[in-house]
């Protein structure tokens, strides 16, 4: 039986073009050789990668924010997240930055909760979701927000209540859904302290220490 484990693999690409380049992402078109020898065209978004933070406080509440997302025409409840803006950037450093910028919060216990490809059929984005505990208000002035972030709402919601909302179809953000259910799964298994360390390797987005 084939082990139930994702493995890297790369099929032959005979031609590549980039018909669109945006500010942060682009669209690539590859001609890919299939196992039967045929060649098919695949279009996909090229993405720098992202990090997200499930920040869990001492009362078992998760720090969440509500933000407008224009492509889906919804205001979504989410966990703090952001792009890996610098090639090779340490994902933990990016996660610490996002938690500070979006919530003005710091944490003294960081672990890797899970790694996901949110939409592998149409985008090469990889996301690392961290668990952050030992929360406290960050020092200094708050980060100045703009655009959609200027309208954000912040809240702390019990983990169990978020799980109920996920299963009821009331919450839809990928990182929130995966983060909440992963935290519950980890807790019911070997426990949150058994999660991977915050600097665990991430082959999808290699980084410097």
The catalytic residues are 149
| Maximum distance among all Cα pairs of the chain, rounded to whole angstroms | 60
Residue 112 burial class via C-beta count within 10 angstroms: exposed 0-12, middle 13-18, buried 19 and up: buried
Compute the distance between CA of residue 159 and CA of residue 181 in angstroms, rounded to an integer: 9
- Measured in whole angstroms, the distance separating CA 87 from the mean position of its chain's CA atoms is 16
In a 3-state reduction of DSSP, which class is residue 91?
Answer: helix
């Amino acid at each position: 039986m084939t082990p139930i484990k994702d493995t890297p693999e790369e099929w032959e690409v005979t031609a590549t073009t980039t018909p669109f380049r945006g500010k942060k992402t682009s669209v690539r078109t590859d001609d890919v050789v299939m196992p039967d020898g045929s060649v098919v065209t695949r279009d996909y978004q090229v993405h720098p990668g992202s990090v997200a933070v499930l920040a869990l406080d001492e009362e078992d509440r998760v720090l969440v924010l509500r933000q407008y997302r224009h492509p889906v025409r919804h205001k979504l409840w989410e966990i703090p997240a952001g792009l890996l803006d610098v090639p090779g950037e340490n994902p933990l450093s990016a996660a610490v930055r996002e938690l500070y910028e979006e919530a003005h919060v710091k944490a003294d216990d960081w672990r890797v909760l899970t790694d996901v490809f949110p939409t592998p059929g149409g985008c090469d984005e990889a996301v690392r979701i961290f668990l952050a505990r030992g929360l406290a208000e960050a020092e200094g002035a708050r980060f100045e927000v703009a655009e959609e972030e200027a309208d954000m709402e912040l809240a702390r919601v019990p983990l169990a209540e978020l799980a109920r909302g996920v299963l009821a179809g009331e919450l839809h953000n990928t990182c929130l859904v995966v983060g909440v259910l992963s935290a519950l799964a980890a807790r019911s298994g070997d426990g949150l302290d058994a999660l991977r360390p915050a600097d665990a390797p991430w082959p999808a987005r290699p980084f410097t220490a």
